[in-house]
């Protein structure tokens, strides 16, 4: 095993003890370091390098490629959670970039377009875009055509900030650097930084990269009344030296 991998496995062991996670987690983290991350650009002429990660009981993939653009959609009145993610879970410090078309989503629909990175349920960083709950929209004073953008760390620590965007093409970016051995993440939309956070873990944790459209309760007031979709033009990863 390379020295770099051994070092990260030892760091993972310390973090496992710190957070009281199962010993099995050490093996999971270590196996992620079978290779080093490199510059990657995925243009969706096909799904090479990606696998389905759906989380529902609907066998249909609902992922279509047209003219080099990936379209993921969910059905009305369903619990569809449609996702694709990279084959490799090797991505750490660097710049993550998604170019996504966000349509005018159903008013009040519990539906989310996602661009995110994931190791496990405690190590996950998200962009999730949807119409949002009316209570939150009123509190924020958003315009009728605004959509809400949730920028979230799911744990270590949990934190979430909400911004707004208009329907259209957008560039979503996460930038991960190291600060005193832990990740420092910035959420950036169309070159504007919306949020940043110092995490409680570092590059002993590596990630898959995800694109998704899911019918999620927190992003609306009622089950989706229409088909909702997102268009993904490309995804990029650029490691930091």
H or E element in which residue 154 lies: strand 147-154
* Distance of alpha carbon 48 from alpha carbon 221, whole angstroms: 36
Locate the domains of the chain by residue range: 1-34, 37-239
Q: Specify the residue for token string 């030892």.
A: 10
Both tokens of 40, joined, read: 């990657």
Q: What is the pTM of this model?
A: 0.86
Phi, psi of 32 (to 5 degrees): -70, -15
pLDDT digits (tens, 9 = 90+) for 203-229: 999 999 999 999 999 999 999 999 999
CATH topology of domain 37-239: Jelly Rolls (2.60.120)
Residues facing residue 222 across a β-bridge: 109
Tokens for 241? 């030296």
Q: Convert the pLDDT of each residue in 25-38 to its tens digit.
A: 333 343 344 345 78
**Distance from C-alpha of 108 to C-alpha of 111, rounded to nearest angstrom:** 9
Helix (H) / strand (E) element for 116: namely strand 112-120
Residues 97-152 pLDDT 10s:
999 999 999 999 999 999 999 999 999 999 999 999 999 999 999 999 999 999 99
Averaged pLDDT of the chain: 88
Q: How many CB atoms lie within 10 A of CB 170?
A: 20
Widest pairwise Cα distance in the chain: 55
Write out the DSSP string of 66-91: ETTEEEEEE-TTS--EEEEEES---B
């Amino acid at each position: 095993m390379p020295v770099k991998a051994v070092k990260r496995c030892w760091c993972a062991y310390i973090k496992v003890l710190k957070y009281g996670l199962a010993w099995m987690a050490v093996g999971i983290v270590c196996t992620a370091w079978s290779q080093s991350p490199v510059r990657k650009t995925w243009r969706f002429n096909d799904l090479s390098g990606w696998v389905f990660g759906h989380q529902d009981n609907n066998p249909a993939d609902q992922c279509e490629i047209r003219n080099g653009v990936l379209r993921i959609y969910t059905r009305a009145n369903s619990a569809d959670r449609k996702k694709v993610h990279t084959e490799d879970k090797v991505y750490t410090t660097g710049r993550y970039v998604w170019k996504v078309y966000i349509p005018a989503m159903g008013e009040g629909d519990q539906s989310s377009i996602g661009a995110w990175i994931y190791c496990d349920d405690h190590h996950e960083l998200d962009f999730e875009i949807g119409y949002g709950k009316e209570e939150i929209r009123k509190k924020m004073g958003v315009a009728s055509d605004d959509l809400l953008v949730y920028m979230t760390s799911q744990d270590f620590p949990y934190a979430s900030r909400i911004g707004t965007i208009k329907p259209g093409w957008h560039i979503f970016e996460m930038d991960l650097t190291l600060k005193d051995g832990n990740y420092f993440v910035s959420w950036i939309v169309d070159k504007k930084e919306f949020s940043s956070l110092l995490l409680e873990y570092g590059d002993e944790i590596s990630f898959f990269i995800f694109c998704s459209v899911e019918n999620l309760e927190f992003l609306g007031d009622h089950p989706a009344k229409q088909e909702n979709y997102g268009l993904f033009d490309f995804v990029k990863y650029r490691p930091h030296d």
